[in-house]
Amino acid sequence: MKLTLIRHGVTEGNMKKLYYGSTELPLLPCSVMKLQKMAEGGGYPTAPHYYTSGMLRTEQTFKALYGDIPHGVLSDMREIDFGDFEMKTYQELCNTDAYQKWITGDIEANVCPNGESGDQVTRRALRALAPLIGASEDAVIITHGGVIGGLMQHWFLAVNGRYSFTPEPGTGFTVEFIDKRPVHVTSVPFGKSII
């Protein structure tokens, strides 16, 4: 089976380098246009099943790339909730004790105050994908950079953590599974073999 994970397009939060996950932000109009052009160029996989995380930015990305194809929602594929850090920049947070505690030590296990940890996000995403992987059903999912990076780190033991597999907006990976095990990765929309 093949599971394609695509990161949503660019929002104001990306441009301002905000910690944002649970906040609903729309795509920038220029990002919608860029996604539509990318879709015209081909290279985005099709599948019998399509999903988004249900967040506005993933819904808009799906429409830009795939139009009005029916799709479902996997809400556990939503981005991390940064809690007290939500909608703030590094510059706003870097001198606070809470932020320093969060980024020191095991960044995957450390929970954002009133939010989630990277591990928690990856575990809920794995739960959301378990029925698809178990049924060996090809699917395309529009989700979030942190979710994709966490899944890829889990499946392929990335040396540099989730950030070595966090795709650019509008891009992602197709992961091929054999006997429910991830064995091969190609980039989307470029089709370059990664693993």
Q: Specify the pLDDT at position 118.
A: 94
193 in any annotated domain? no
Average pLDDT, the chain: 94
Largest CA distance in the chain: 48
**What is residue 160's predicted lDDT score, i.e. its pLDDT?**
65
User: 138 pLDDT exceeds 80?
Assistant: yes
Buried b (16+ CB within 10 A) or exposed e, 34-52: bbeebbeeeebbebeebbb
Res 142: pLDDT: 98
* Residue with token string 């940890």: 117
Pairing of strands 88-89, 139-143: unpaired
Task: Say how many domains are in the chain.
Answer: 1
Residue 6 in 3-state DSSP?
strand
pLDDT for 164 equals: 81
Report the CATH number at residue 94.
3.40.50.1240
Amino acid 139: pLDDT = 98
Among the listed residues 151, 149, 153, 146, the one whose alpha carbon sits nearest the alpha carbon of residue 86: 146
Confidence check: pLDDT of 152 > 90: yes
Distance CA 43, CA 112 (A): 37
Q: What pLDDT, on the 0 to 100 scale, is given for residue 158?
A: 65
**Residue range 153-176, pLDDT digits in tens:** 999 886 567 778 889 999 999 999
Segment among 25-34, 63-72, 90-99, 101-110 with least mean pLDDT: 101-110
User: What pLDDT, on the 0 to 100 scale, is given for residue 191?
Assistant: 76
10-46 pLDDT, tens per residue?
A: 999 999 999 999 999 999 999 999 999 999 988 899 9
Residues spanned by the domain of 112: 2-188
N residues, the chain = 195
Question: What is the chain's alpha carbon radius of gyration, rounded to the nearest angstrom?
Answer: 16
**Contact in structure between 129 and 121 (CB atoms under 8 Å):** no
Distance CA 174, CA 163 (A): 17
Would you state the pLDDT for residue 170? 97
Does residue 40 sit within a domain?
yes
Query: What 3-state DSSP class applies to 90?
Result: helix
**126, 109 contact by CB (below 8 A):** no
Identify whether 51 is part of a domain: yes
Establish if 194 belongs to a structural domain: no
Q: Is the residue at 195 inside a domain?
A: no
